[in-house]
Structure 1
Amino acid sequence: MSETTCAHEAAPTAPHASAHPLISPLSARLGFAQAITDIGRTAAERELAHRLPHEEIAQLKALGFGALRLPDDAGGQGLSLTELFGVARDVAAADANVAHAFRNHLFLVESALRRADHPFHARVLTLARQHKTLGLSFTETDVPGAGARPSRVLTMLAWQDARGCYTGSGKKVYATGNLYSDAFVGTAVESRHGRTVQYVFDRGPGVGSDDDWDGFGQRLTGSGTARFEQVSIPAAQVFAVDPPPRDDAAPWGYTFHQVYLTNCIAGIVRRVLHDGVAVLQSRKRNFYHGDADLPADEPVLQALLGRIRAYAASVEATIDRAIAALQQAWDSHGTAGEYDAALAASFAAAEAKVVIDDLAPQIASWLIDLGSGSAVSRQAGLDRHWRNIKVIASHNPRLYKERLLGQNALHGRLPPTGAFF
């Protein structure tokens, strides 16, 4: 037999493994590799001990994670929207709680970049440039029924003439990320002229955040109750509301929220694959009815790991499609193609959520199959992946997305224009 037709040629040599298998080259180039690695290494331990990631989030702030979309000459890195989601997915693969906690801040920055000439949004960008993060003082509606809209927290800002400032009080539920925020934004009616205004105020006296979120997943996002008791807001940080959008402007302005959350789930799925490799490599005993001495050499387990890898790649490709559509919508802002691009992005976000919300929990459950009894230890914390996926997915459940997609295919129904679409 000739050398070129030998049936026993050596297998190709495996490429050198990356020092940071969860981290993209972009995150490494930006200097985030060590921080993300550290966050990932302690994620299970923090989950078990319920240790809030104050230090981890502060480290990402200091590195400029919250300012990545700002131009180079304005204190940022000038990343595209697509690149931002790539770095955020790396953070989510390390710890989805940490990535999730930045969502509202990053959306506020996105909004401000489009309206940087408005003083309210200029203030948002200034805080981002200073590596501070912003939380919301909007709340979920207390009005039951379909079509209800979020209500204000600081309903009225009372003018304090002697102090030259406004004061306000209120309470926000589901205040994701507020526990870690340096400043807060919202809208209210101010008492001097009865106008609806926008405001920005710094964390200070009267601001409190309760760690009372009792969900079974995403337990470290700071999604508890935010309390504002007679907080002081300087008059210079109270602004006129944004002008109404153009008649021909695309009305879908909140697709970012949904894409960001689904992107976090994609990060968790990437971590499931990483943990699956570690589980097989660490197991030293196989079942007596297996075909190999070591689990890592067991054909059925190798096949399951391969299935996890393939599904994880499909999940990332699916969310990348939605991100690309959102990037196109961003690039089309203010042009004749804005409406169609924004509508396409809303549908792409819904399609990605339907698919990924269905697949991701299954992928996380395969991780337990891969490890058998070795994977159910509370210390290992591998169950957190399934729990975190389900909690993130509960934001505007996929059932409503499926209904919309079907109604659009049949009757041309358009998506709602509120948050998460």
Structure 2
Amino acid sequence: MTDTNSIKEASYARGVSPLTVTLGFAKILADISATAATREREHRLPHDEITELKALGFGALRLPLDEGGHGVSLGGLFVVARDVAAADSNIAHAFRNHLWQVETALRKKDHPFHAHVLGLTAQRKTVGLSFTESDVTAAGARPTKVLSRLEWDASRDLYVGSGEKVYATGNLYNDAFIGSAVESRAGRTVQYVLERGAGVSNGDDWNGFGQRLTGSGTARFRDVTVPAAHLYPLDPPRPDEAAPWGFTFHQVYLTNCIAGIVRRVALDAVEVLRTRSRNFYHGEAAHPADEPVLQSQLGRIRAYAASVEATADRAVAALQRAWDAYGTSGEYEATLAATLVASEAKVVIDDLAPQIASWLIDLGSGSVVSRFGALDRHWRNIKVIASHNPRLYKERLLGQHLLTGHLPPTGTFF
């Protein structure tokens, strides 16, 4: 009889963790991985795959069991999300904004706005963001609200608004959207929950050279309607002594996605070497898999990939400690530490990951440059994810902090 642990270890070698196996995601991720190259070649948006992941509760991983979720820890969320990224980084990336919003809501679940978000999540729906938009033509432009104003329509007993958001990652696949706006009756700024319906459209007009299937095009809201019951007061301000670094999750999640891609590179490297039929003409072995130089290159890929995952794990662990310290006297110190560790991880992984993806091409040489295998997508996807919040500023911040104690910025774009 086969030992269960052996099955789990074998599953990890195929790109998924024991936790993912236990939660029942292994099969869908195997299917997603098997079809990822085809989707890339054909530019087929992963609507069906994301729908199935929603139904299985990927978006509700962090909800307690008795509230319709899987009850995993924050660290567990990143374990499963990395497995998703190893199968298809586009899909993992598309869930980022929803998963961040769930984290926010879990901390503030007594507030009716956040309770609404958690209720949608329990229904296996995902929630996108329509909080801010920037004037992309102006250098250093400040973000503005997407639905800047909601006008009251007394004849229909609801609010109506319009707006547009570019780079709306994941919104193509989301069931609802949240944001803030000024409502016309009282002239106050409120938070809203807008469910997908008439007037909501998403363009697949994202033209990046990587992460092409994330649904990162333009989200348009034309005369969309929001019931008065779905408008909520703003969150109360946090105490002055509370930690101001509330967005480290974003950075760790993206770095975690890159770690997933690197794992896929290592797995693909094994397949490339096993399936190559011809060795280099100046090689020493009859078959590429027996070629010492290529075995060494495969070992290098494996070692560096393991180092990338370990570095990402360190950032996840720091974020978990910051989460555990929320609302305590140790929150400030733990959250600052998490932001610095996340910056360190980004600097290292953004440097190493593209190199590892390049080594995959070296391993296969001319036999793997065909567009059919789409192996170039790994390097392209890594570079596009890494372009979020450039590492150059992280490097400077880390140096400044060591020299003078200079603190990190507190906004979402760092």
Verify same fold: TM over 0.5.
Answer: yes
Kindly provide the CA deviation profile for residues 284-325 of structure 1, in whole angstroms up to 9, marking residues without a partner as x: 101121010111000010001000000000000001000000
Matches within 5 A, 1:297-376: 297-376=290-369
Distance 1:385 1:96 in 2: 9
**2:10 maps to which residue?**
18
**2:257 maps to which residue?**
264
Distance 1:181 1:400 in 2: 31
**2:74 maps to which residue?**
81
Matches within 5 A, 1:44-83: 44-83=37-76
1:145, distance to aligned residue in structure 2 (A): 4.4
Distance 2:157 2:329 in 1: 45
Indicate whether 1:103 and 2:103 are aligned: no
Are the structure 2 counterparts of residues 253 and 120 from structure 1 closer, same or farther at C-alpha, using a change threshold of 3 Å? same
Q: Which amino acid aligns with 1:336?
A: S
Are the structure 2 counterparts of residues 183 and 107 from structure 1 closer, same or farther at C-alpha, using a change threshold of 3 Å? same
Of residues 130, 134, 156, the one that matches 2:149 is: 156
Indicate whether 1:280 and 2:273 are aligned: yes
CA contact (8 A) 1:152 1:187 kept: yes
SS in structure 1 of the partner of residue 243 of structure 2: coil
The percentage of counterpart residues that share the same residue type is 71
CA contact (8 A) 1:139 1:173 kept: no
1:162, distance to aligned residue in structure 2 (A): 1.5
1:420, distance to aligned residue in structure 2 (A): 4.7
CA contact (8 A) 2:318 2:334 kept: yes
1:224, distance to aligned residue in structure 2 (A): 0.3
**1:3 maps to which residue?**
none
CA contact (8 A) 2:266 2:302 kept: yes
Indicate whether 1:415 and 2:405 are aligned: no
SS in structure 2 of the partner of residue 266 of structure 1: helix
1:160, distance to aligned residue in structure 2 (A): 0.8
Distance 1:417 1:330 in 2: 16
Kindly provide the CA deviation profile for residues 185-207 of structure 1, in whole angstroms up to 9, marking residues without a partner as x: 00000100110000001100000
1:263, distance to aligned residue in structure 2 (A): 0.1
Of residues 14, 39, 42, the one that matches 2:35 is: 42
Matches within 5 A, 1:187-206: 187-206=180-199
> Considering only CA atoms, is the larger Rg found in Structure 1 or Structure 2?
1
Distance 1:360 1:102 in 2: 22
Of residues 194, 201, 205, the one that matches 1:208 is: 201
Distance 1:335 1:149 in 2: 32
Of residues 111, 122, 139, the one that matches 1:129 is: 122
Q: Which amino acid aligns with 1:255?
A: T
Distance 1:140 1:190 in 2: 18
Runs of 4+ with >6 A deviation: none
1:375, distance to aligned residue in structure 2 (A): 1.0
CA contact (8 A) 1:375 1:382 kept: yes
Distance 2:170 2:280 in 1: 44
Indicate whether 1:116 and 2:144 are aligned: no
CA contact (8 A) 2:133 2:146 kept: no
Of residues 356, 367, 379, the one that matches 2:372 is: 379
Kindly provide the CA deviation profile for residues 365-405 of structure 1, in whole angstroms up to 9, marking residues without a partner as x: 00000000011010000000000000000001100100111
- Structure 2 length-normalised TM: 0.96
Q: Which amino acid aligns with 1:18?
A: A
Q: Which amino acid aligns with 2:116?
A: R
Indicate whether 1:183 and 2:176 are aligned: yes
Point out where structure 2 has 5 or more consecutive residues left out of the alignment. Answer: 1-5
Indicate whether 1:142 and 2:135 are aligned: yes
CA contact (8 A) 2:11 2:21 kept: no
1:149, distance to aligned residue in structure 2 (A): 3.6
Distance 2:16 2:101 in 1: 25
Q: Which amino acid aligns with 2:293?
A: V
Distance 1:26 1:151 in 2: 40
**1:289 maps to which residue?**
282
Of residues 397, 400, 403, the one that matches 2:396 is: 403
CA contact (8 A) 1:139 1:174 kept: no
Matches within 5 A, 1:208-247: 208-247=201-240
SS in structure 1 of the partner of residue 393 of structure 2: helix
1:161, distance to aligned residue in structure 2 (A): 1.1
SS in structure 1 of the partner of residue 364 of structure 2: helix
Of residues 166, 177, 199, the one that matches 1:173 is: 166
Number of positions where the alignment pairs a residue of Structure 1 with one of Structure 2: 406
| Root mean square deviation of aligned Cα | 1.1
SS in structure 1 of the partner of residue 10 of structure 2: coil
Q: Which amino acid aligns with 2:75?
A: T
Of residues 243, 248, 251, the one that matches 2:244 is: 251
Q: Which amino acid aligns with 1:347?
A: L
1:19, distance to aligned residue in structure 2 (A): 4.5
